Amino acid sequence: MPAPRRYVTDAIVLSRFDLGEADRVLTLITPGHGKLKAIAKGIRRPSSRLGGSLEPFAELSVALARGRTFDVVTEVRVGHAWLRLRDTLEGAATAWYLAELADRSLEERHVAEPQYALLHRAYGLLDAGMAPGRVARWYEMRLADELGQRPEVDRCAECDRVLDPGGQFRWVPPLGGVLCERCPGPAAAHTGLGLEALKVLKAYQRLDIEAIAALRLPDAVEREVEAAMREFMRTALERDPRSLAFLDEVRTRPARRPAPAPQLTAQ
């Protein structure tokens, strides 16, 4: 039986780019159809019915008609908008980063229910005001799990010995996690990992989100964990997320200075 020509799905916009005079191509994540590209024809005309609803940071209900290159958006309804997520630039930039990680980790047209649920939850947490860095680390850890690349933080990734808290650790993402001091690892691997950072990585794997939100951590440890997880995701996805440059930039700006909203553009 051929697939129906028209279908309706929940979707979150991951990225978009303008095409021609008035069209826009969107990358959507959907639970049942996975990642897909769709075209919104004429959306940049003031008279467009699709208008402002086909935006990122919202759960949409989208009607699509199958097309040759891209499916065509025929109708959009906003199911749930995470409006407060945009209140801070760091929140919006983090949301963009999470969308990019989802985009990079998914193949088109493969069912993506867990990844969809994960992004949905992360946006809800950002919207509820949870610290963007905590949401990002929580999301990275669970996305790595979904990719079958859960970081090893309990045993040495090379010799499989249980890590001794009194030992020295190195963080070696190409090997899947932490190395003990006895294992040489690859020649270039000299990224030390402090015991506190290792404990926090374990906490991200074991604790629920409420417990993670309540952790009190020194800035230096948060930064170490951030660097470790970013490096891990870069290795897992085999590329540098482009949104990180923007995220790092907004965090160094004075809080009140107005800045343009992040543009979700694709290559």
Q: Which residues bind Zn ion (CB under 5 A)?
A: 156, 158-159, 180, 183
Coil/strand/helix, residue 145: helix
Nearer to Zn ion, 183 or 221 (CB): 183
Please report, to the nearest 10 degrees, the dihedral formed by the alpha carbons of residues 109, 58, 145, 202 taken in order. Answer: 170
CA dihedral 3, 8, 14, 15 (to 10 degrees): 80
In the complex, minimum distance from the CB of residue 235 to Zn ion, in angstroms, rounded to a whole number:
19
Contacts of 251 (CB under 8 A, 6+ apart): 90, 93
Cα–Cα distances (Å) from 247 to 92, 120, 213, 225, 253, in that order, read: 9, 20, 20, 16, 10
Q: How far is the CB of 181 from Zn ion (least distance, A)?
A: 8
Q: How far is the CB of 202 from Zn ion (least distance, A)?
A: 17
Spatial contact of 244 and 234, defined as CB atoms under 8 Å apart: no
| Sheet arrangement for strand 192-193 | 177-179, 169-172, 192-193
Cα–Cα distance for residue pair 146/194, rounded to 1 Å:
26
Provide the minimum distance between the beta carbon of 234 and Zn ion in the complex, in angstroms, as a whole number. Answer: 23
Q: Which is nearer to Zn ion, 20 or 186 (CB)?
A: 186
Q: Which is nearer to Zn ion, 127 or 152 (CB)?
A: 152
Nearer to Zn ion, 171 or 246 (CB): 171
Question: Minimal distance in Å, beta carbon 224 to Zn ion?
Answer: 21
Least distance between Zn ion and beta carbon 159 (Å) = 3
Q: Where are the beta strands (DSSP E) in 180-233?
A: 192-193
Q: Which is nearer to Zn ion, 65 or 189 (CB)?
A: 189
Whichever of 66 and 190 has its CB closer to Zn ion, that residue is 190
Number of residues assigned to the chain:
267
